[in-house]
């Protein structure tokens, strides 16, 4: 089911949590809402679910305006960070709950509900645990039960609020892969919220980066990482370094020296240069480059991260070098960013 969020604004007691947000979600897509806490990502998810009502704007499921429908009528599957399982019910009863509370002819017979529950348990790889109570399961197992419960009602959309947030790193990674598999198999339109960029980039077809109640950028992992469209996205996704520079005659200047990068279409004046620490080209001589003194050097996993102090202002930037690169031993390093982007100074 396609979901369309149209110019939605949400205020909590006059405090705006979302400003005029619009988003199109294609049928069958797996979408991540990514952002720091307070960015409005969970609010957006809850608005789609109907757990909150928009102050302004509409939400469409297909061509149908869902924003005036109650939560019960929307038929969405929602998975909470802390599982929110019914602890007085067995696993099978938890999963069957959504079918059991239906009325009249839409409620399947008890046998059918049981069959469906054990089918879903197979899908989430927990066969044989029908009779357990949630208290008897591990965190990862509980979250899988919660997902099975949400899928039992054959939801139009599956919404997951930081589904792996309460789990430890190992289980998280496992469940991530597993969620992708389930999604590919069942094809539910799925939206999940996360503040973990690795999770978002690895798992989602498209990532929606949010900040301060606004959508900053929507795109595939490649789009978001390679061509961030705002300083926020550049800074938030992956590692980044930035330097205050100046544009003059289509050339980028650092203090009083050109650094060998041309930006013919950039507006003249002060700007900020962003680049990835690992995407730099080391140079020997320095006519048109960025040069700095080594302030610190740290070994991080497979690379060495070197902190440089640049120019008289002692601006600090980080670059990454191969572990055995001789430049790390020197006191002065010159480089030029490979891929970079310029944003007008704020």
Partner 1 sequence: MTTAPAQAGWRFRQPSVIPGFGLTLGFSLAYLTLIILIPLSGLVWRSASLGWAEFWAIASDRRTINALEISFGTAFLAAAVNVIFGTLVAWVLVRYRFPGRRIVDAMVDLPFALPTAVAGIALTTLYAPNGWIGKLLMPLGIKVAYTPLGIVVALVFIGLPFVVRTVQPIMEEIDKEVEEAAATLGASRFQIITRVLFPGLAPAIITGFSLAFARGVGEYGSVIFIAGNLPYKSEIAPLLIVIRLEEYNYPAATAIAAIMLALSFVMLLVVNLVQTWSRKRYG
d(CA 234, CA 236): 6
Helix (H/G/I), strand (E/B), else coil: 311 = coil
Q: Are 276 and 324 in contact (CB under 8 A)?
A: no
Q: Which of 88, 177, 332, 339 binds partner 1 (CB under 8 A)?
A: 88
Q: What track of x and - describes contact with partner 1 for positions 38 through 57 (by CB under 8 A)?
A: -----------xxx------
Q: Which of 77, 140, 213, 292 binds partner 1 (CB under 8 A)?
A: 77
d(CA 30, CA 116): 24
* Residue 250 burial class via C-beta count within 10 angstroms: exposed 0-12, middle 13-18, buried 19 and up: exposed
Question: Based on CB atoms, which residue is closest to partner 1, 75 or 315?
Answer: 75
Helices 110-123 and 91-100 cross at an angle (nearest 10°) of 120
User: Residue 35: phi, psi to the nearest 5?
Assistant: 175, 165
Q: Does 84 bind partner 1 (CB under 8 A)?
A: yes
Question: Based on CB atoms, which residue is closest to partner 1, 147 or 291?
Answer: 147
Q: Which of 60, 80, 178, 253 binds partner 1 (CB under 8 A)?
A: 80
Question: Based on CB atoms, which residue is closest to partner 1, 78 or 274?
Answer: 78
Q: Does 98 bind partner 1 (CB under 8 A)?
A: yes
* Site stretch for partner 1 (CB under 8 A), options 134-142, 238-246, 282-290, 318-326: 134-142
Helix (H/G/I), strand (E/B), else coil: 208 = strand
Reading the block at residue 228, the tokens are 């961030």
Size of the site for partner 1 (CB under 8 A): 31
- What one-character-per-residue DSSP string does 227-260 give? S--SHHHHHHSS--EEEEEEEETTEEEETTEEEE
Q: Does 86 bind partner 1 (CB under 8 A)?
A: yes
Q: Are 172 and 144 in contact (CB under 8 A)?
A: no
Q: Which of 10, 29, 32, 74 binds partner 1 (CB under 8 A)?
A: 74
Question: Based on CB atoms, which residue is closest to partner 1, 90 or 240?
Answer: 90
- 18-24, Cβ contacts within 8 angstroms, sequence gap of 24 or more: 18/43, 18/44, 18/47, 18/213, 18/214, 19/213, 19/214, 20/57, 20/214, 21/57, 21/213, 21/214, 21/215, 22/57, 22/215, 23/208, 23/215, 23/218
Q: Which of 35, 40, 54, 134 binds partner 1 (CB under 8 A)?
A: 134
Q: Does 12 bind partner 1 (CB under 8 A)?
A: no
Minimum distance between the CB of residue 272 and partner 1, rounded to whole angstroms? 41
Give the list of residues 6+ apart from residue 112 with CB closer than 8 angstroms, or none.
Answer: none
Cα-Cα end-to-end distance for the chain: 40
Q: Does 150 bind partner 1 (CB under 8 A)?
A: yes
Minimum distance between the CB of residue 122 and partner 1, rounded to whole angstroms? 20
Q: Which of 14, 15, 72, 329 binds partner 1 (CB under 8 A)?
A: 72
d(CA 279, CA 340): 9
* Site stretch for partner 1 (CB under 8 A), options 11-19, 86-94, 209-217, 266-274: 86-94
Q: Which of 55, 58, 75, 283 binds partner 1 (CB under 8 A)?
A: 75
Q: Which of 26, 87, 298, 299 binds partner 1 (CB under 8 A)?
A: 87
Minimum distance between the CB of residue 149 and partner 1, rounded to whole angstroms? 7
Q: Are 342 and 263 in contact (CB under 8 A)?
A: yes
Q: Which of 26, 53, 56, 102 binds partner 1 (CB under 8 A)?
A: 102
Binding site residues, partner 1, CB under 8 A: 49-51, 71-72, 74-78, 80, 82, 84-89, 97-98, 101-102, 133-136, 146, 149-150, 152-153
């Amino acid at each position: 089911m396609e979901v369309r969020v149209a110019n939605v604004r949400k205020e909590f007691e006059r405090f705006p949590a979302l400003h005029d947000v619009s988003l199109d979600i294609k049928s069958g897509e797996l979408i991540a809402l990514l952002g720091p806490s307070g960015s409005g990502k969970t609010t957006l998810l809850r608005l789609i679910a109907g757990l909150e009502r928009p102050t302004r704007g509409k939400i469409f499921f297909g061509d149908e305006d869902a924003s005036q429908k109650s939560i019960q009528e929307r038929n969405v599957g929602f998975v909470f960070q802390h599982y929110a399982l019914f602890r007085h019910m067995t696993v099978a009863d938890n999963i069957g709950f959504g079918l059991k509370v239906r009325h009249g002819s839409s409620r399947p017979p008890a046998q059918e509900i049981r069959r469906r529950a054990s089918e879903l348990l197979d899908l989430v790889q927990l066969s044989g645990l029908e009779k357990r109570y949630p208290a008897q399961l591990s965190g990862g197992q509980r979250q899988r039960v919660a997902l099975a419960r949400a899928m039992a009602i054959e939801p139009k959309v599956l919404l997951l609020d930081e589904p792996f947030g309460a789990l430890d790193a190992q289980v998280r990674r496992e469940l991530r892969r597993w969620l992708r598999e389930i999604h590919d198999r069942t094809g539910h339109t799925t939206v999940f919220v996360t503040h973990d960029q690795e999770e978002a980039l690895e798992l989602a077809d498209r990532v929606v980066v949010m900040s301060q109640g606004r959508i900053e950028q929507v795109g595939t992992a490649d789009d978001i990482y390679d061509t961030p469209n705002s300083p926020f996205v550049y800074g938030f996704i992956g590692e980044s370094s930035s330097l205050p520079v100046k544009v003059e005659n289509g050339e980028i200047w650092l203090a009083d020296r050109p650094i060998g990068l041309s930006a013919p279409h950039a507006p003249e004046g002060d700007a900020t240069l962003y680049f990835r620490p690992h995407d730099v080209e080391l140079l020997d001589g320095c006519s048109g480059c960025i040069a700095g003194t080594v302030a610190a050097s740290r070994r991080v996993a497979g690379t060495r991260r070197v902190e440089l102090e640049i120019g008289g202002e002692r601006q600090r930037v980080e670059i990454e070098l191969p572990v055995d690169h001789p430049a790390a031993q020197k006191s002065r390093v010159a480089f030029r960013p490979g891929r970079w982007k310029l944003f007008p100074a704020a």
